[in-house]
Amino acid sequence: MNTKKIKELYNKGYSSKKIANILGYKSHVTILNHLKSLNIERRSPASYLKGSSRARKYSINENYFNELTPRSSYLLGLFFSDGWITNDGVIGLCMTDKNIIELVSKELNSTYPIKVITPKQGKILYELRFHSIKMKNKLITYGCIPRKSKTLKFPDLDERLFPSFIRGYFDGDGGIRISKNNDPIVYFCGTFDICETIRKYLNPKINSKAKVNNHSTIFRLQYCGRRIVKRLGNILYDNSELFIERKKKIFTVL
């Protein structure tokens, strides 16, 4: 059996059926069994494109989260808030901000297409969806797990990366607005662990006594007042490179 050729074709994205046809084997099961004997993990069908060859044509930097930096910590915050993963390695990020989805795609060196979702009601959504068992496994080590909405915990990070992660999370599940009294309001939504860890980090730094409140099925942390919100913005955006421009702009005019 031509082990070298089988591994080469499989790594290029060819399906077991296509490899069997190319190499003249009667059944693709023979190829699958040989891959298993080599301890090569079987790909999910999600990693293929539709078409006659079914070869994978898109690529992404699967090692992006191997080392956390301020930039990758920001993306980690985005995936913790507005991202999702499946057990078979499909990873997605869906947001209303097209610019940030394009930024994430560029940051990950992705050639996957960005999907435009037009709901019957509400804003247009932009989704980047790709497949990577390797990245899925790495995200899980940080706590970004499948079906995470009610169980998500703040990741174990070096504290110097907290502002970048929190800024990413804020760009997904947070917001800033100006009240009727012309006072700025900043909020974070999520699990109790996420909101409470953010509270414990921010409160002493911005001289706030804010508490986490339970709103139905989610928790919410809210900061009010021009001075407190301005201090919060200084922490989130100091030396920042990645952010949603429209949110940062509100902080800059306070």
pLDDT in tens, 146-200: 988 888 999 999 999 999 999 999 999 999 999 988 999 999 999 999 999 999 9
Q: What angle do helix axes 16-23 and 3-11 make, rounded to 10 degrees?
A: 140
Q: Which domains does the chain have, with CATH numbers?
A: 3-47 (no CATH), 170-252 (3.10.28.10)
Name residue, tokens 């023979």: 30
pLDDT: is 33 or 209 the higher one? 209
pLDDT band at 19 (very low <50, low <70, confident <90, very high): confident
Name residue, tokens 């939504």: 189
pLDDT at residue 14 in the model: 74
pLDDT at residue 2 in the model: 79
DSSP assignments along 184-231, one per residue:
EEEEEEE-HHHHHHHHHHHHHHHT----EEEETTEEEEEEESHHHHHH
Give the whole-number percent of the chain exceeding pLDDT 90. Answer: 67
In this predicted model, what pLDDT tens digit does every residue of 122-148 receive, in sequence order?
899 999 999 999 999 999 999 999 988
Give the whole-number percent of the chain exceeding pLDDT 70. Answer: 93
Backbone phi, psi, residue 234, to 5°: -60, -35
Mean pLDDT of 210-220: 92
pLDDT at residue 49 in the model: 42
- Most confident of the following: 31-35, 148-152, 247-251: 247-251
Under a CB-based contact definition with an 8 Å cutoff, are residues 48 and 56 in contact?
yes
Round the average pLDDT of the chain to a whole number and report it.
89
Q: How far apart are CA 37 and CA 34, in angstroms?
A: 5
Q: Which residues of 13-25 are buried (b: 16+ CB within 10 A; e: fewer)?
A: bbbbebbbeeeeb
